């Protein structure tokens, strides 16, 4: 199964945090393969407290023989291993944020894991790097490709 994962950091050595997150993912998930990685973008914080440091954001696509819920569990464990508390304020600064964006054509409205990610089509900091690697991708529930969704943002 192919998975899209967004990575973001705005605390400490942001680039190293993202790199370490990818390394841990490749170490922890049996049989995982990196399909593609986008370039890293520096982006202004969205819906964060005033004075919040800018983020570095990117997207990777991996292939793995696991369920989306299993991968999600690994992503949360990696966040915690890199210093992100499990209990935190919404949109608080973070060493590493890992969001599962999609899992092939899986649609899930599970309270723990919603797929595709419910707000990704509205977020330039997700669509821009995703368009680097999968511009033609049309996600379940969308009519437009990632590139078209990005072009439609203000």
Residue 66 has pLDDT above 60, yes or no: yes
Domains along the sequence of the chain with CATH: 2-151 (3.30.70.560)
pTM: 0.93
Pairing of strands 41-43, 33-37: unpaired
What pLDDT digit, counting tens, does each position of 6-31 carry?
999 999 999 999 999 999 999 999 99
Beta-bridge partner residues of 36: 61
Backbone angles phi, psi at 94, to 5 degrees: -150, 140
What pLDDT digit, counting tens, does each position of 67-106 carry?
999 999 999 999 999 987 666 565 567 799 999 999 999 9
Of all helices (H) and strands (E), which one includes residue 35?
Answer: strand 33-37
């Amino acid at each position: 199964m192919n998975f899209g994962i967004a990575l973001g950091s705005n605390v400490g050595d942001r680039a190293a945090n993202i790199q370490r997150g990818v390394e841990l993912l490749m170490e922890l998930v049996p049989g995982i393969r990196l399909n593609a990685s986008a370039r890293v973008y520096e982006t202004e914080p969205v819906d964060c407290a005033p004075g919040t440091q800018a983020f570095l954001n990117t997207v990777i696509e991996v292939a793995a023989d696991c369920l989306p819920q299993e991968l999600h569990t690994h992503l949360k464990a990696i966040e915690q291993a890199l210093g992100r508390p499990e209990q935190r304020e919404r949109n608080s600064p973070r060493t590493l944020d890992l969001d599962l964006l999609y899992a092939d054509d899986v649609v899930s409205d599970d309270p723990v894991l919603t797929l595709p990610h419910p707000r990704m089509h509205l977020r330039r900091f997700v669509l821009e790097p995703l368009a680097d690697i999968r511009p033609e991708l049309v996600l379940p529930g969308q009519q437009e490709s990632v590139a078209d969704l990005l072009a439609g943002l203000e």
